[in-house]
């Protein structure tokens, strides 16, 4: 038993060492990527379930590494948040997304809302939040068609400050979405604290909506809560026609997921917008 214990300790140490090396390596690669402009924004449509029309787009960052190919955000966003590289990355993301929004507005797609993810680290950092605000001031786009999605709200150390910041965004016309709603990080308590306009129902609920009764009940409960509080609900992670039909039938207003469309580069989205009629 002792021997086994010792091996376990050794293994554990090796894993920690590997974790640290992986982390440092990722952070170095991120720095090169920022310098080499290896990041691109993809956009995933959100449709109005009743009509099938695209009403909004969520910008999602993509990292195309020259030798490793696509590296998923789940691998590098947490590292970037720890190292602080998220700030520079997010400033770039906001600027690029706003340039793209301007282009779409010029093409006549003025009613399409654009949603951007904002790290709660940026939200509560004085300097970096001010950078984001100054980027917003650079562009004269329709900010009533602009949403900031926040997540990992449990990590918000200063709720008062977060509320003040979100209200500052709202005073520019922006709307606030609570991401991954229903998961540990994003739950009902935040609904009464934070000035939220939209809740994004986490994909874990949508996944099993058609095979068990309980997730269906939970979603119906969330929808009625949202109606009472005057919030819009976006169901995330719709992967099947069954899920889509179910959500449509219980009057969920918006939906997003691979079944509707995967995230795509701006040009492909522009093409989709040109055919954006009711189904
Ligand atoms: P999220 O904000 O919850 O974004 C939704 C994620 O679900 C995206 O993953 C999207 O590609 C994926 N998804 C969309 N439809 C489906 C579906 O039908 N089924 C399944 N299983 N997944 C679906 P992605 O792009 O890998 O991003 C992962 C997370 O990384 C995002 O989760 C977000 O928290 C973060 N992230 C992505 N882009 C940004 C960004 O520009 N800034 C910040 N701060 N975070 C970002
Ligand atoms: Ca999101
Ligand atoms: Ca989400
Ligand atoms: Ca998320």
Q: Which tokens go with 170?
A: 């709202």
pLDDT tens figures, 153-188: 767 778 899 999 999 999 999 999 999 998 876 678
Give the residue whose CA is nearest to atom 4 of ligand 1: 60
38 lines ligand 1 (CB under 6 A): no
What percent of the chain is modeled with pLDDT above 90? 77
- Rounded to the nearest whole angstrom, what is the distance from the C-alpha of residue 149 to the centroid of ligand 2? 6
Q: Which residues pair with 39 in a beta bridge?
A: 63
Residue 192 has pLDDT above 60, yes or no: yes
Q: Is 177 in the pocket of ligand 1 (CB under 6 A)?
A: no
> Which has the closest alpha carbon to 169: 135, 205, 216?
135
Residue 49 has pLDDT above 60, yes or no: yes
Cα(140)–Cα(212) distance, integer angstroms = 47
The whole-number pLDDT of residue 208 equals 82
Measuring CA to CA, which residue among 213, 77, 211, 97 is closest to residue 146?
97
Q: Which atom of ligand 1 is nearest to the CA of 151?
A: 34
Confidence grade of residue 7 (pLDDT, cut at 50, 70, 90): low
pLDDT level of residue 214 (50, 70, 90 thresholds): confident
CA of 180 to the centre of ligand 4 (A): 6
Average pLDDT of the chain is 91
Confidence class for position 213, pLDDT limits 50, 70, 90: low
Pinpoint the alpha helices (H) of 37-155: 73-83, 85-106, 120-124, 126-138
Which residues are identified as catalytic? 236
CB burial readout 11-47, b (16+ within 10 A) else e: eeeeeeeeeeeeeeebbebbeebeeeebbebbbbbbb
Is residue 201 within 8 A of residue 181, CB to CB? The reply is: yes
Query: Distance of CA 99 to CAs 19, 78, 105, 114, 141, Å?
Result: 37, 26, 10, 12, 9
Q: Report the range of poorest mean pLDDT among 54-58, 73-77, 210-214, 247-251.
A: 210-214
DSSP classification of residue 42: E
Query: What is the pLDDT, as a whole number, of residue 140?
Result: 96
Expressed in angstroms and rounded, the spacing between residue 117 Cα and the centre of ligand 2 is: 5
Q: Is the CB of 257 under 6 A from ligand 1?
A: yes
Cα-to-centroid distance, 5 and ligand 1 (Å): 39
| Number of the ligand closest to the Cα of 97 | 1
Q: Give me the interface pTM, i.e. the ipTM.
A: 0.98
Identify the residue whose C-alpha is closest to ligand 1 atom 37. Answer: 60
Phi, psi (degrees; rounded to nearest 5) at 6 = -60, -45
Q: Is the CB of 182 under 6 A from ligand 1?
A: no
Element (H, E) at 28: helix 2-36
């Amino acid at each position: 038993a002792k021997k086994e214990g010792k091996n376990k300790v050794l293994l554990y140490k090796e894993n920690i060492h590997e974790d640290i090396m992986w982390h440092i390596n990722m952070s170095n690669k991120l720095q090169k990527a920022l310098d080499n402009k290896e990041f691109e924004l993809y956009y995933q449509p959100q449709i109005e379930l009743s009509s099938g029309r695209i009403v909004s787009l969520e910008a999602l960052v993509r990292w195309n590494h020259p030798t490793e190919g696509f590296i998923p955000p789940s691998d590098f966003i947490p590292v970037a948040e720890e190292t602080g590289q998220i700030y520079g990355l997010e400033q770039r993301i906001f600027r690029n997304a706003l340039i793209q929004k301007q282009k779409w507005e010029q093409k006549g797609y003025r009613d399409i809302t654009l949603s951007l993810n904002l790290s709660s680290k940026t939200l509560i950092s004085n300097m970096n939040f001010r950078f984001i605000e100054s980027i917003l001031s650079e562009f004269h786009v329709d900010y009533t068609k602009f949403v900031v999605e926040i997540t990992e709200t449990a990590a918000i150390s200063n709720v008062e400050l977060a509320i003040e910041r979100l209200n500052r965004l709202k005073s520019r016309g922006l709307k606030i979405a609570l991401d991954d709603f229903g998961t540990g990080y994003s739950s009902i308590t935040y609904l009464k604290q934070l000035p939220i306009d939209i809740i994004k129902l986490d994909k874990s609920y949508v996944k099993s909506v058609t095979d068990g009764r309980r997730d269906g009940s939970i979603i119906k409960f969330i929808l009625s809560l949202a109606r009472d509080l005057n919030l819009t609900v976006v169901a995330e992670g719709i992967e099947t026609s069954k899920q889509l039909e179910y959500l449509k039938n219980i009057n969920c207003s918006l939906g997003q997921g691979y079944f509707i469309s995967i995230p795509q580069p701006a040009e492909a989205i522009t093409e989709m917008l040109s055919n954006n009629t009711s189904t």
